[in-house]
Structure 1
Amino acid sequence: MTPTPPPPFRADAVGSYLRPETVHTARAEHAAGTIDDRALASIEDRAILDLIRQQEDVGLEAVTDGEFRRAYWHFDFFAGLDGVTLGEGATGMDFQGQAIRPLAVEVTGRLGFPSDHPMLAHFAFLKANTDRVAKMTIPSPTVLHFRLAEDAVPADLYPDRDSLFDDLAAAYRSAVASFYAAGCRYLQFDDTAWAYLCSETELEKARARGMDTDTIQDAYVKLINDSIRDKPSDMVITTHVCRGNFRSSWIASGGYEPIAENLLAACDYDGYFLEYDSERAGGFEPLRFLPKGQKIVVLGLITTKSGTLETESSVAGRIAEAAEYASLDQLALSPQCGFASTEEGNLLTEDEQWAKIREVIQIAGNIWER
């Protein structure tokens, strides 16, 4: 029997899924104090078990817990770190036509990854309940740094925002080791920072926050590589570069050309989920920086922002275009983003969500198995 290749897979998914109504109701009741932590976890457990079966039944080789236990794709993870507090404040996240709750990360102590971080237990539940590859998604360390306000870091701990890079990387090395010890072999860093570095609008905002945008790419390459430098050889770490995903809205526009060489060639990731579902992502020319024979780019050609299905011919044509710049053997297919980066979810139905996943699997099979 031919061994299954390592992830990312030809047909893959970013990770988050629409929460069922049972989870929405339970989280509202928990917030109101009418059910306790144990009752909420029990309802989430049942919903996640259903989700695992749905992913398995549809044919995905890697499954996630859908991020059902989170309110946000990133804040819940950051809140579990040592030295981080969530507070109300300007997020700087300006979604097109949508208002998001004003949360912001504040550094209040030395950064670290605790041995009892809640998401270790979340992953353990996932892995214990599937025979497929259990995939864990966490925000990239760059995300924590990129949105920090100038006054969000105490000077007695870190003289400036950039001085926390060493501790941040060490915290992520501990996270990688901890997830590996829990059995994780497929870890994904979700990252909006790189996409925002493609947007002149977001660069202007970053400069207004006091960031040196001329040197930040080099700093982020080092931060990422320092964070994953001790990754075991049998663990795959990918990244998903996100342009913003909240109730089918978005933030950043701009092709990958300004970041492609640093992101694809200099960062030590095993693979990249890149959003290519709209003209805001530009062309495939930046894929020329993908090192030949190494790494996989998962093309996010199936949008999660609406329930309308793409045609197989149009998706196959775009894959052929991408293959002009990177080998077809180094390409794969997925939805462009998660279906619910926050608990509110995008503006499509669960049936439409699963139709999108089936489409990814069908098209990938027709292209790569052929």
Structure 2
Amino acid sequence: MQRRTEPPFRADHVGSLLRPPALHAARERFAKGELDAEGLRAVEDEAIRDAVAMQEEIGLQAATDGEFRRTSWHMDFIYQLGGIERTDEQMQVVMRNQEGEKAFTTAGLAVRGKVHLREPIFADAFRFLASATTSAVPKLTIPSPSMVHYRAGTSAIDRTVYPDVEEFWSDLSAAYAAQIRAMADLGCRYLQLDDTSLAYLNDPAHRAQLAARGEDAEHAHIRYIKTINAALADRPEGMRITTHMCRGNYRSAWAAEGGYDFVAEALFNELDVDGFFCEFDDERSGSFAPLRFVPPGKQVVLGLVTTKTGRLEDPDDLKRRIDEASKYVPLDQLCLSPQCGFSSTVEGNALTMEEQVAKLRLIVDVAQDVWG
């Protein structure tokens, strides 16, 4: 098979990378007032250059900045949207791993004005990433529009601002459409929308939580798909857009379980993206059967390599799993990646930098063996 020249690539990755020790130290000094913003940015710049060089040396065709300028994968973006405010409310998301339960705590949000794009978000970050790449396509990751609603729900929308909630959805799509156009104007041709909601909704426990707060849990995924599609309707020619759907990733813990069965038919047939990054690293992720709904022309990036631990997967096991997935989707429509990022929040998962590199290198090697 031919090497893919358009994203997503045969060997790809979700986006976030473990922050190097020097960056952690710089952030601590910045928080204490011992380092100014210019000094912090200089450390970030150097860390990003090193991360890009690592990705290119391994042989990845796309490179991210590791999300090194962010604290979390989503809230740093969402709080910059016009009309959305950070609140004092502390929101807790229950996470689980082999050691038991832990809680991811984040500040709340409220929609207190008309949602709009004040200015392009992460524009400077993308410009720097693009300047740092030599052979790889610079890839930008941002949270999906769904995440603006899923975290706090309709109750967070000021109904004096939006007496008709449909206007909120329309404005949200328009804000994202403006962001997408702005990124395209900067030369971005690989954009990823990270969306945990479309994975969480497969878990009956999460649908029950949504229903308990008055949401239409049985059809929430339909609303989210419609909103994303409206944002993508006039996307610039030449820009490839994917979505990544995981079940939570915080310090090697997860939030939801279950296969993609509940959302699969609508998701794969109706969501107007070019590729789907799907989590399939353990039994909690369900089977490949939902992939039978993937239509021709769409790529599925199989997240078979876990970022939760440093244990390196057996390449033959990965090849067998790719073969199993190809019973539902033609092999030419498949790619390989980790199941999620290595550091969705600044703290990172429980593995070393060396183990992270080994996993990325394994993905490139296996993809070469499978697809040539």
Q: Same fold (TM over 0.5)?
A: yes
- Tell me how far apart the structure 1 counterparts of residues 110 and 28 of structure 2 sit (CA, whole Å): 26
- Please give the residue correspondences for 1:9-48 in structure 2 after superposition, counting only pairs within 5 Å: 9-48=9-48
**Stretch moving more, 96-105 or 273-282:** 96-105
Kept in 2, the 8 Å contact 1:75–1:86? The answer is: no
Deviation at 1:332, TM superposition (A): 0.4
Greater CA deviation, 153-162 or 323-332?
Answer: 153-162
Give the secondary-structure state (helix, strand or coil) at the position aligned to 1:108. strand
**What CA distance in whole angstroms lies between the structure 2 residues aligned with 1:288 and 1:365?**
25
Distance in 2 between residues matched to 1:162 and 1:26, nearest whole Å:
44
Q: Describe the SS at the equivalent of 2:262.
A: coil
Give the direction of change, closer, same or farther, for the CA distance of 1:149–1:266 in structure 2 (3 Å limit): closer
Residues 30 and 355 of structure 1: CA distance in aligned 2, closer, same or farther (over 3 Å): same
Q: Which amino acid aligns with 1:74?
A: H
1:243–1:250 Cα contact (<8 Å) kept: yes
Letter aligned with residue 314 of structure 1: D
Structure 2 residue aligned with 1:120: 123
Query: 1:262-317, CA deviations, whole angstroms, 9 ceiling, x for partnerless residues?
Result: 1111010000000000111111111110002x110000000000000110111111
CA-based RMSD of the aligned residues comes to 1.4
Deviations 1:312-360 (A, max 9, x none): 1111111111000000000000000000000000000000000000000
Letter in structure 2 aligned against 1:33: G
1:338 aligns with 2:345: no
Identity rate of aligned residues, in percent?
45
Q: After superposition, where does 1:30-179 map in structure 2 within 5 Å?
A: 30-96=30-96, 97-117=101-121, 119-131=122-134, 132-159=136-163, 163-179=167-183
- 1:327 partner amino acid: P
Superposed displacement of residue 229, structure 1 = 0.7
In 2, distance between residues paired with 1:358 and 1:187?
22
Aligned to 2:306: 303
- Worse overlay, 48-57 or 107-116: 107-116
Cα deviation for residue 92 of structure 1 reads 4.6
Q: Paired residue for 1:291, among 277, 284, 295?
A: 295
Matches within 5 A, 1:174-253: 174-253=178-257
1:3 CA displacement: 8.4
Q: Give the distance between the partners of 1:303 and 1:60, measured in 2 at CA.
A: 18
**Partner of 1:353: helix, strand, or coil?**
helix
Runs of 4 or more, structure 1, over 3 Å off, are: 160-163
Segment drifting more, 100-109 vs 177-186: 100-109
Deviations, residues 18-66 of structure 1 (Å, cap 9, x unaligned): 0001111111121222211111111101111111111111111000000
Matched, 1:313 2:331: no
Alpha-carbon distance in 1 for matches of 2:106, 2:189? 34
**Alignment-derived partner of residue 328 in structure 2:** 325
Distance change (3 Å), C-alpha of 1:63 and 1:174:
same
Q: Equivalent of 2:280, from 256, 276, 279?
A: 276
The residue that corresponds to 1:362 in the other structure is 365
| Cα drift, residue 150 of structure 1 | 4.7
Question: Given residue 285 of structure 1, which amino acid in structure 2 is its aligned partner?
Answer: A
CA contact (8 A) 1:304 1:337 kept: yes
TM-superposition CA deviations, 1:50-107 (whole Å, max 9, x none): 1111111111100000000000000000111111122232435211122323322221
Deviation of the 1:189 alpha carbon: 0.1
Any idea what SS the aligned residue of 1:83 has?
strand
Compared with structure 1, are the counterparts of its residues 336 and 116 closer, same or farther at alpha carbon in structure 2 (3 Å cutoff)?
closer
Note if contact 2:120-2:183 (Cα within 8 Å) is conserved in structure 1.
no
Specify the SS of the correspondent of 1:99: strand
Query: Could you tell me how far apart the structure 1 residues matched to 2:271 and 2:6 are?
Result: 19
5+ residue gaps, structure 1 = none
Q: Which runs of 5+ in 2 are unaligned?
A: none
Q: Does residue 263 of the first structure (1) align with residue 274 of the second (2)?
A: no
Match of 1:21, as an amino acid?
Answer: P
CA distance in 1 between partners of 2:146 and 2:90 (Å): 18
Give the Cα–Cα distance (whole angstroms) in 2 for the partners of residues 150 and 228 of structure 1. Answer: 23
Matched position secondary structure for 1:177: helix
Q: 1:30 to 1:283 in 2, by over 3 A?
A: same
Is the Cα–Cα contact under 8 Å of residues 145 and 161 in structure 1 kept in the other structure? no
2: CA distance, partners of 1:87 / 1:246: 22
Decide whether the 8 Å contact of 1:73 with 1:342 is kept in 2: yes
Give me the TM-score of the superposition, normalised by structure 2: 0.95
Q: Distance in 1 between matches of 2:115 and 2:44?
A: 29
Shift of 1:116: 4.7
Change in 2 beyond 3 A, CA 1:314/1:3: closer
Mapped to 1, the partners of 2:169 and 2:55 lie a distance apart of 37
Alignment: residue pair count: 366
SS of 1:93's equivalent in the other structure is: strand
Distance in 1, Cα, partners of 2:267 & 2:310: 30
Q: Distance in 1 between matches of 2:322 and 2:165?
A: 40
Greater shift, 100-109 or 350-359, is seen at 100-109
Q: Could you say what secondary structure the match of 2:128 adopts?
A: helix
Q: Conserved in 2, the CA contact under 8 Å of 1:148 and 1:161?
A: no
